[in-house]
Structure 1
Amino acid sequence: MILTVHHVTTYEYDAPMRGAVQSLRLFPSRFDGQRTIRWDVAVEGGLRGGNFRDGAGDKVEGWSLRGPVSEVTISAIGQVETTDTAGVLRGHREIVSPFAYLRETSATWIDHALRDLAETAVTGVKEPLDRAHRLSRAVSDAIAYRPGTTHAHTTAAEALAQGEGVCQDHAQALIACARAVGMPARYVSGYLFAREDGAPHEAAHAWAEIWVENIGWIGFDPANECCPDARYIRIGSGLDAHEAAPIKGIAQGDGSERLDVTVALEAVQQ
């Protein structure tokens, strides 16, 4: 499948800022399941800085803007060819040990409810791949997909207690559950062309990857009850949503900030 992406993020300030710095993780991953045909990332009025590929294999690029700054517009526009690898991350080069992803964060802190959910899901199941699938199914059943019911700082434990959330909550809850039973897991940011049932869905999407012994990293999307396929574009990863965020930045000044994001995906060829 060939997918075109048009992703624009705009920050508006009610008072001019003295300057801004942005760290962007907005570049498609390089692995057997996707090939970048063309891709351009830009910050309007900004100065492009250095870039590097981190230990997890993600490309990161820095940008800066000199003030006065009233608005920052970041765009990622391009075309990616994807193939279905059944969620398996083949051919992705990284140097971080999978076991580094057993580390908890505040967003994926494992409370008693998450631990109980995980242990119940895999009781009597020894095969690692089966355990991963059962964990994903348990999270899907426990947290209903309902946009607008949580916020950016909702933790996995809070989402489970609430019983509803969005893809970020599903991903972080699955990560916590996997770590609770000793399986390394991480958060993945990217794009999704459409939901499994064809219903409308936020194009900017998130899911989890679990390290499965003798196979490697495998993606699981509890929000859609499937593994990532050709409808998904993988961008970056991290311990949780904050670490894997496609855009991180800071602006110098006293003005308040307003954020607007638009993401559009179109299938050019299937």
Structure 2
Amino acid sequence: MLTQKLPPEPVPEPITLMGWVRVLWRGFILGSVVFGGLLVLLLVRLIERPLYGQHRPITPYITQFVCRMAFVILRIRYATQGERMQQRGAVVANHSSWLDIFTLNARKRVYFVSKSEVAGWPGIGWLARATGTVFIARNPKEAKAQQNVFEERLLAGHKLLFFPEGTSTDGMVVFPFKSTLFQAFFTDHLRHEMYIQPVTVIYRGPDGGDPRFYGWWGEMDFGSHLLKVLAARRQGSVEVIYHPPVRVDDFPNRKTLAAHVEEVVRQGMPNDRRG
């Protein structure tokens, strides 16, 4: 992950005895809910897939329930502003943490767009595939095939979600949006009926603690960061702001579209995080 313009990762503090108790208790409940929900999702999908194909009228609600319960278990306060997009199209958001998976699935039915390497990650890759994540490879030879997948999923009514920053941050800044993926929306099949909804995600650390508490960036290890969150005696909050969607047709090219939604996402951040 890119670390340019970001401060060094904080040194993890030792977990206390009571912290380990919270890790075991919360971890057991969270794991039971996540993997139990996954099992139910896979069983329902066995019926849903032959009946509806690409359309998923039932299983996304299972994903939403699991993600909402994650915040209850972790005791992280969760709040939203704005209306979810009803039109066909995609969602773009700033990227600060692995918690974004739960944060952005908890209220809105979305399907993530992720780099192909994630498919091979233990546990996470399995969950991502089961919930309908679209994997893309950084290989120009596969660009046409990936474009076809985008079109198929978008025209089926799926709202694809991607992180145009291309990396995660400490949650205190929004990096410039890369415009490459926006080109997919400018084909003749899509541009006349697609919308893009910018979303700002704001994490706030526990009261009196590091505001970057939930940020996951640089060379930070996923396992140790997960343990830190599970062990915390006090938790913070996350706020999701849904901005008004914009029509792809209203922009002449991918760069102007990317620049516009980047500015909207940045303006949704608190004043001290708009750098």
The bucket for the TM-score relative to the shorter chain is under 0.3
* Structure with a larger share of its residues in helix: 2
* Structure with a larger share of its residues in strand: 1
